[in-house]
Structure formats: C-alpha cells, structure tokens
A = this chain, B = another copy of it.
Amino acid sequence: MEKQEKYLDGLTIRFAGDSGDGMQLSGTQFSNTSGAMGNYVNTFPDYPAEIRAPEGTLYGVSAYQIQIATKEISTFGAFIDVLVAMNASSLKVSLPKLSKGAVIIANESGFGAKNLKLAEYETNPLEDGSLSDFEVHSVPIVETMKEVCADLEMSPKFIERTKNLFALGIVYALYSRDSEHTIKWLNEKFGKKPVVLDANLRALKKGMEYTAVNDEFTTIYKVEKSEVEPGFYRNITGNEAAALGLVIAANRANMHLFLGSYPITPATEILHFISGYKKHGVKHLQAEDEIAGLTSAIGASFGGYLAATTTSGPGLSLKVEAMGLACILELPLVIIDVQRAGPSTGIPTKPEQTDLLMAMYGRHGDAPIPIVAATDAADCFNMTIEAARIALKYMTPVILLTDGYIAQGTNAFKVPHIEDIPEMSPTFATDPETYQSYKRDPETLARMWAVPGTQGLEHRIGGLEKEDITGNVSSDSENHQLMTNLRQAKVDGIAKDIPLLQVHGEQSGDLLILGWGGTYGAIKDAWNDLRCDGKVVSRAHLKYLNPFPANIEEVLNNFDRVLIPELNMGDLKMMIQGKFLKRIIGLNRVDGLPLQTNVVYNKVVELLESKEG
C-alpha cells in the first residue's frame, strides 16, 4: 500500500520504559537527529526517584520527552503526540498527558500478565478498547529481534536490549528522520564491540522496515526544516553547559580552574564533567562536604585560581557561612546552585526557584553577593562565563542560579569558536610600592589581588572587618560603616556593566510578564501563543537578579500591571515590591513541575479579561 505524506509544524514524542530499557538513549538520538535535520529541539529526561526501581512498576518508569518543531520552541511540549511505551506502566503514567489522537507504539512483550499486574491494569489496555481515542500500534519487538539476531552469538537478554533501537527505527521511519546521524554515532560508540554494534544496527534498520512494510502505518509524517542559523550544533544539558562554561571562562581569562564540590542531585553532573576534563588541566576536589567544597575553592582563589563550587539547595544552605567569608574577603568565586524542590530534602529530583531570596539575603550580617540566573540549558554556558567575568572583574563571589529542569533538560547549543568568546583580563598586583590589600579600583571598586608567590606582597586577609585600603583588622565604627557601604556600592555598580532589560512586544502598556531564570521557555512559548492569538501583552526576562539591570524601574513603570510567574511563593515579587514599591501580580507554583506554558497562558488571558491587579 502506498503511504500518504503529511507535513507537521512539530511534534512532541515521549520514550517511556523501565530504567534499563534505554529510553534516554533513544530520546537523545531522536533529538540530536532532529537537530541535525534542522529542526528546533527541546528535551527533558524524566528519571524515577529510585535508583533502579523494580522492573515494570509504576514508580519505576524512566522517560525522555522531546519537542521538535519548525518554528522556535523553548519547552519540551505540554502534550504528547507520540508515545513509545515499552511496558504497561509506562503507558499508564503517560496517558494523562497524551494529546487527542496521539500515536502509541507499544512494545507487545511489555504487556504480559506480570506487567499488567504491576501497572495495576485489570485487562490489557492494548486489547480492551480503552485506548480507542488513540492510534495504537502493538509491536512484537522482542520476538522480531530474536529472529533477526538468531545468527549472532548473543544471549537473549542482550538481544532484548536492542529493543530501544527497534522502537527508534519505527519512529524514524514514521516521522521521516534520517538514520545517518544515529548510525554514525552507533559506529563510534560500539566500534570496539562489533557484535553489539551489529545487533543495534539491525534493530534500527528492522524498526524502520517495520514501519515501511506495515500497512497499519498509513501515513508518513514530515517536519520541515527550520530557519536555523548555520553552524555547528549539539544538544546540551544545563549541567554540561555549566561545566563547559567553567573551563572556557578560565581559558578566556587565561587562568587555571579549580572546582571544589560535593555531590548532590541535580547538580552532581557538573562535577562529573569537570572530573573528566583532566586533559584540559582542570583541578578539582570532591570535598568531604559542601562547606569544604566552597572553602577549598576559597583557598584556591586566594592562590590565584578561577575557583568555583557547585551545589543544590541543601548544599547552598551549608555554604552560607563560607559565602559570608568570601564576601568580606572579596575574592572571586563562582557558586552554581542548581535549585530543586525544598524545603529540606524536599523532592530532590524536581525543579523549583525557591532559592532566590536565600541567595539574596541568606547570610548573617550585611553581605551582598551578585546573583545571575540562566534561562535554559544552553544559556547555562553563557551565564557561567558571565558569572566568572563579574567575579574576576569585581573581586566578588557570584551566585549563578539554575534549576533541576534546565540542568537536566537539553536544548540545542550553537557551538561557538573559542576565539569568538571574549577574553577577560584579570590582573594580579606585583608592585610592593603600591600594593595595599583593600585599595580599590576607582571604577569597579574591586580591591587589589596579590597571590602567594609574589615577592614583597605578603599580606593577611580574613573574616574580621578590615580597615579601608590597608586591610588591617579594624573594629572602628566609621570604618565598619564605610566598608559596609563600599561592599554594597561595589555590587550595585555592576548594574552599569550588564545588559539592559529588554521588553518583547509593546514597550509600555497594560500588562508585562516578567520572568527570571529557568521559566524562560514556558513564558516565551506562552507569550508567542498569546501574541498569535492577538493578545496585547509584553514580556521581559531577568538574568541579573543582583543587581538588577539599570533600566528595570523604568520598564516596570511603563506598565500598569506586572505579572511575575515563578516557581516559588513570591521571591522575585518580594524583591521587586520591596525595592521599587511596584505592586506585582504573582503566579506562584511549587508543584515540583517546570512552569507550564498553559498555566501562564491562562493566567494572562484571565488577567486581560478581568483587569484585576
């Protein structure tokens, strides 16, 4: 039967199965292939909380969701158009998010009696008619692969492991994906294990064939190429981007890099990446705790390194005292906090934006520290470099806030050439005649930095209040006020050195949506939809939280109403109201989910109708 061809604007696909089913691999390949084919892509892996929950259970489902599209998109899709379900549980947990008429590719052998029971199904949903709203394809993947690989010297268990590639093949053919990228990748990955490579290649091919020859599939879909800027691209998670950012920042500053860190979900991967960069000269210490993570970095910074620490909420809470020290020492440091759902251990795998006020105010004494935030996975690269730039130029610790969503999700990252990234030029004092440890640059208010090993510049710094210019210990009243003012003025002064806040849409009017950090994608997509639907609303997004961009007050005052959607109970709202006395409408959710596009959309529609505020 000749198949029909149909063009789509985009689609959202979800690969779901057990932890061992290789869904992350299928997802990554679908995503990278689509990127390589010139589509916009955005993904999110959805791991179970348990390390390896018992097979087939509802709480053990591991999934990977991808949205691809011709127009720019910034979220991984609210509703699923295509579901690859390796077993009954993965079908069940995904069902609520399926869009009408969604395509379901089900792995038949994952719907046996045992699987159904674990998924708490009385009858087999593939057979009992309950899925009649959807286009269901029940595929004997495992049986087919056993036949296909009968001639290979491979145990049935290993053969079964290829089922993710078989499923990938099915959707590649169905959505006209080019298999070349994946074939190349498989060759590189399994080059040294020819049998495994062979089995995987056969699975992919067989899956594609399955779609081609099977009449159930009446239509083949295409997603047209986007107007993507030419260049090299890769998909990148926020955590890898942050790790890269650290290395590249050090490179552009002509400095050595030191990372002191303690593992904590969802920040640990930054440490993983850094620990693999040894051939780029990176030093790191997996410390005994978060306090040592930061304090060892302080030691390295004193030694003249670009030093950093990475953590998540509970770890940030432990670093509070040392952040205060870093503040008064006025040494450069990058502190990356990948926010997760709190309070306390909370829900470690879920994103939130509930650390903003803590980053801002969570230290005893007046201890101002600059704060920046990344908008998406790829932006973690930029903002890490930006945090390092500010730290080095102003001699200050800088906190970069990301979150579990952008840290673990991916989007396409346009690979820059190293030469295109601006250089930074930190300098160390060398002249004993002029050196004083708290003498400041009149422009930036940064103090002078001298490193051990420099002859004649021996000096002492510490956590006691110090005398202006000399850096001697001082408990003088006026000096303490002066130093407090100077520390604040230094941070405030950074406002001159960062981009202005940009407004998208009308530059003034009734309603502004103001976001910050990792809610960027959802707000942007919602705003795009609203504009498509003719709504008059503007948006702006903050990446600099302390200090704010110089024009923020002006922007706020240009709008009658300002809506701040954030994944907390009102952190930015509090800061803006407290500072600018501008009444803010909060859209506050702490439900463990990334911000949902439709939540923003609906709130704006409601506001536009009601004129509330």
Interface residues in chain A, defined as those with a beta carbon under 8 Å from any beta carbon in chain B: 49, 312-314, 316-318, 320-321, 324-325, 327-329, 339, 341-347, 349-350, 352, 354-355, 357-358, 360-367, 462-465, 475-478, 480-481, 484, 487-488, 568-569, 573-575, 577-579, 581-583, 589-593
Closest to A462 in B: B345
**Contacts of A366 on B, CB cut-off 8 Å?**
342-343, 354, 568-569, 590
CA–CA, A321 and B171, complex, Å: 46
**Contacts of A465 on B, CB cut-off 8 Å?**
341, 346-347
CA–CA, A476 and B317, complex, Å: 24
Report yes or no: A579 in contact with B581, Cβ–Cβ below 8 A: no
Q: What's the minimum C-beta distance from A71 to chain B, rounded to whole angstroms?
A: 29
Given A357-B361, A575-B578, A343 contacting B367 (CB threshold 8 A): yes
**Contacts of A312 on B, CB cut-off 8 Å?**
364
Given A342-B324, A577-B579, A578-B577, A364 contacting B316 (CB threshold 8 A): yes
Report yes or no: B328 in contact with A321, Cβ–Cβ below 8 A: no
Q: What's the minimum C-beta distance from A371 to chain B, rounded to whole angstroms?
A: 13
CA–CA, A577 and B581, complex, Å: 6
Q: What's the minimum C-beta distance from A423 to chain B, rounded to whole angstroms?
A: 32
Q: What's the minimum C-beta distance from A355 to chain B, rounded to whole angstroms?
A: 5
CA–CA, A569 and B475, complex, Å: 18
Other A-B contacts than A347-B464, A575-B578, 4 sampled, CB-CB below 8 A, are: A342-B364, A343-B487, A347-B475, A480-B591
CA–CA, A325 and B342, complex, Å: 10
What are 14 pairs between A and B in contact, CB < 8 Å?
A316-B364, A317-B321, A317-B363, A328-B343, A328-B346, A343-B364, A343-B367, A346-B365, A362-B362, A366-B569, A475-B592, A480-B592, A484-B590, A581-B582
**Contacts of A476 on B, CB cut-off 8 Å?**
592
Report yes or no: A569 in contact with B488, Cβ–Cβ below 8 A: yes
Report yes or no: A349 in contact with B475, Cβ–Cβ below 8 A: yes
Q: What's the minimum C-beta distance from A547 to chain B, rounded to whole angstroms?
A: 14
Closest to A475 in B: B347
Q: What's the minimum C-beta distance from A173 to chain B, rounded to whole angstroms?
A: 35
CA–CA, A98 and B49, complex, Å: 68
Which of B357, B477, B577 meets A592, CB within 8 Å?
B477
Report yes or no: A341 in contact with B365, Cβ–Cβ below 8 A: yes
Report yes or no: B365 in contact with A463, Cβ–Cβ below 8 A: no
**Contacts of A593 on B, CB cut-off 8 Å?**
477
Closest to A573 in B: B578
Which of B362, B365, B583, B589 meets A361, CB within 8 Å?
B362
**Contacts of A328 on B, CB cut-off 8 Å?**
343-346
**What are the 7 tightest A-B residue pairs by CB atom distance, in nearest-first order?**
A342-B365, A578-B578, A313-B364, A362-B362, A343-B365, A343-B367, A345-B463
Report yes or no: A591 in contact with B481, Cβ–Cβ below 8 A: yes
Q: What's the minimum C-beta distance from A398 to chain B, rounded to whole angstroms?
A: 16
Report yes or no: B327 in contact with A344, Cβ–Cβ below 8 A: yes
Residue in A329, A475, A478 with the greatest tally of chain B CB atoms within 10 Å: A475
Report yes or no: A365 in contact with B352, Cβ–Cβ below 8 A: yes
Q: What's the minimum C-beta distance from A478 to chain B, rounded to whole angstroms?
A: 6
CA–CA, A362 and B313, complex, Å: 11
**Contacts of A589 on B, CB cut-off 8 Å?**
481
**Contacts of A590 on B, CB cut-off 8 Å?**
366, 480-481, 484
Report yes or no: B367 in contact with A344, Cβ–Cβ below 8 A: yes
Report yes or no: B347 in contact with A354, Cβ–Cβ below 8 A: no
Report yes or no: A344 in contact with B361, Cβ–Cβ below 8 A: no
Which of B343, B478, B569 meets A324, CB within 8 Å?
B343
**Contacts of A361 on B, CB cut-off 8 Å?**
357-358, 360-362
Q: What's the minimum C-beta distance from A169 to chain B, rounded to whole angstroms?
A: 34
Report yes or no: B592 in contact with A345, Cβ–Cβ below 8 A: no
Report yes or no: A345 in contact with B464, Cβ–Cβ below 8 A: yes
Report yes or no: B321 in contact with A314, Cβ–Cβ below 8 A: yes
Which of B320, B347, B357 meets A318, CB within 8 Å?
B320
Closest to A339 in B: B364
Q: What's the minimum C-beta distance from A74 to chain B, rounded to whole angstroms?
A: 21
Given A344-B328, A344-B463, A480-B591, A362 contacting B365 (CB threshold 8 A): no
Report yes or no: A314 in contact with B364, Cβ–Cβ below 8 A: yes
CA–CA, A316 and B360, complex, Å: 16
CA–CA, A595 and B364, complex, Å: 19
**Contacts of A582 on B, CB cut-off 8 Å?**
581
**Contacts of A583 on B, CB cut-off 8 Å?**
581
Report yes or no: B362 in contact with A355, Cβ–Cβ below 8 A: no
Q: What's the minimum C-beta distance from A336 to chain B, rounded to whole angstroms?
A: 14
Q: What's the minimum C-beta distance from A518 to chain B, rounded to whole angstroms?
A: 15
Which of B350, B354, B581 meets A364, CB within 8 Å?
B354
CA–CA, A347 and B483, complex, Å: 12
Report yes or no: B49 in contact with A475, Cβ–Cβ below 8 A: yes
Which of B341, B358, B478 meets A591, CB within 8 Å?
B478
Which of B320, B484, B575 meets A569, CB within 8 Å?
B484
CA–CA, A579 and B578, complex, Å: 7
CA–CA, A569 and B367, complex, Å: 10
**Contacts of A342 on B, CB cut-off 8 Å?**
324, 363-367
**Contacts of A364 on B, CB cut-off 8 Å?**
312-314, 316-317, 339, 342-343, 354-355, 358
**Contacts of A355 on B, CB cut-off 8 Å?**
364-365
**Contacts of A365 on B, CB cut-off 8 Å?**
313, 341-344, 346, 352, 354-355
CA–CA, A358 and B369, complex, Å: 14
**Contacts of A578 on B, CB cut-off 8 Å?**
573-575, 577-579
Report yes or no: A321 in contact with B324, Cβ–Cβ below 8 A: no
